[in-house]
Structure 1
Amino acid sequence: MARFEFVTDWHFEAPIEAVFDALTDSLRWPEWWPGLVDVEQREAGDEGGIGRVQHFVWKSHLGYYLRFDIRIARVCEPCLIEGVADGDVTGIGRWRLCEENGGTRVHYLWQVRTVRPWMGLLAGVARPLVVWNHHAMMRAGAVGLSRHLKRLPTPVGQAIE
């Protein structure tokens, strides 16, 4: 089994609430995140989202698929979403949001280990490609989310630039 720790930082010219809402609405991620093939609700969780379980299917830039569930473990609106992954990879994913420079800074931590033997072999032989793939998929997510946020209606009382 191979272990990975990825850190991603994004900045959006959008209110923190809009970014938080988009990140918590992961059933709609396939509409704007290239490479995300499907998200399926498995368990609803409580009113704050704690305990919600969703099944994700990702197709990497390298052609392989990752399938895993994410169980939401912590939510602090609008600043934190943390989930526990179980499936082809196991570990944690943590979104931290803060207001910055008139927009929203997003910091994502993805600490996982591979479960399938072929993934451990791939990571052992081609770790730089796996790392490149992760970062390429996160860049695509940032572009997609940015476009998605720009299509949202402007809240009443805010100026349109």
Structure 2
Amino acid sequence: MTDFDFHSVWTLQASADRVYAVLADAERYSQWWPQIRRVRATDEHSGSMVIRSAVPLTLLVFGRREVEDPVARHLQVRLSGAMTGWSSWVVRPAESGCAADFRQQVAVFGALGLASKIAKPVFEWNHEAMMRGGHRGLSAYLSQP
């Protein structure tokens, strides 16, 4: 087992409410986040994502929404599948738009866990590449009328 604790903050040129609404609509992530290849809803609270970033490794991750609070602009999902743990977004107004604060704590097991023990910096770099792609993609998506 290998544990990861990720944190990213995206500065975006849009209102906090608009960004929250886009982030809450996980079924559309693949429209603007290049590393999220496919999203499928299982029910109104659960679904799966196929993810592939810079490392040629495709992950199937299942999520179940735990928090969806539009007043606090807070989202949190319980993760299972290729990784177990949780991820969350908190969106706050900022000087010229908003800041979307992403946090994720996950553990990976089996062959993926073994590979990540050996090459943990590569997996961290891969996650950073995915987050850069998501930030660029969301910025472009939000700039559309």
Q: Could you state the TM-score of these two structures normalised by the residue count of structure 1?
A: 0.87
Tell me if 1:138 matches 2:139.
Answer: no
- Flag as ranges the 4+ runs of structure 1 deviating above 3 A: none
SS at 2:119 equivalent: helix
Cα deviations by residue, 1:59-109 (Å, 9 ceiling, x for unpaired): 121100111111110111051001100111000101011001031101110
Quick one: distance in 2 between partners of 1:89 and 1:39?
16
Number of paired residues? Answer: 144
Q: Are 1:60 and 2:50 an aligned pair?
A: no
Q: Which has the higher contact order (CA 8 A, sep 6+)?
A: 2
**Rg larger in structure:** 1
Cα RMSD over matched residues? 0.9
Counterpart mapping for 1:1-161 below 5 A: 1-44=1-44, 52-78=45-71, 79-115=73-109, 117-151=110-144, 153=145
Distance (whole Å) between structure 1 residues aligned to residue 68 and residue 25 of structure 2: 13
State the identity %: 28
2-structure distance, mates of 1:3, 1:65: 19
What secondary structure, in the 3-state scheme, does the structure 2 residue paired with 1:133 have? helix
Counterpart residue identity of residue 20, structure 1: Y
- How far apart in 2 are the matches of 1:20 and 1:54? 19
Structure 2: stretches of 5+ with no match in the other structure: none
